[in-house]
Structure 1
Amino acid sequence: MNNDNGNNANGVGNQNHEIPRHLLQHVPRPREVRFMLTDRQLELMYVVWAAARGRVHQQVYRPELPIPPYPLPPVWPDDVRAMVILWVARERRMFELEMSELEYILGLRVRAR
């Protein structure tokens, strides 16, 4: 049974019943959290992305050519894999936003008011 009466190690308690300052700090919101890939990992992502674009381009514009087999995926540690998943999700969202802006600028879509 916890017999804590609010006293600290010196026998002095929190007489004002204040919440300790460190408990009031907020948990970072997702937009405040930053993640970083190393330059090498980022370089690898753009090389792989270029390969993916090449495969899609070939499938759409040159379907008569045989599609090369997929290369073996990189082996990621769990923390890097999580960052890569976030990076891909962010890039997908950025692409969607860019296409929406393109539609607005070209007058193909009207903004809801």
Structure 2
Amino acid sequence: MNNSNYANANGEIAYKIPQHLLQHTPRPREVVFVLTGNQLELMYNTWVVVRRRVCQRIYQPELPFPPYPPHPVWSDEAQSMMILWVARERHMFELEMAELEHILGL
């Protein structure tokens, strides 16, 4: 008689599957990315500069453009979060514009 917890009905030893193999891969909605206050502040301040440059390009193209500010240095994780944040903001803008067109009957 085999008293092993891992033995099946035939008395053969059955090994447990490691727990990490039984866990599912997180779905996109289960993954949460959090930007720090400093990162968000930098993003929104940069956004102001971007809007100013775009307005100048559209309404005052004869004026010389100011040089681009130096790029911030991000860790790989922070850069990934920034890419996702920008993609989300772009998607939100596109949805808002589609909703605006629908409401205005365009």
TM-score range, shorter-chain basis?
Answer: 0.7 to 0.9
- CA-CA distance at 1:25 after TM superposition: 4.2
Residue in 1 that maps onto 2:25? 27
Deviation digits for residues 64-110 of structure 1, max 9, x if unmatched? 111101011100011101100110011111100110100111111xx
Q: Distance in 2 between matches of 1:14 and 1:21?
A: 18
Unaligned residue ranges in structure 1 (runs of 5+): 1-9, 109-113
Unaligned residue ranges in structure 2 (runs of 5+): 10-15
1:57-68 equivalences under 5 Å are 57-68=55-66
TM-score normalised per structure 2:
0.81
The amino acid of 2:5's aligned partner reads: V
**Equivalent residues, number:** 99
TM-score normalised per structure 1:
0.76
Q: Which structure carries more helix by proportion?
A: 2
Report % sequence identity.
64
Q: Distance in 2 between matches of 1:69 and 1:40?
A: 23
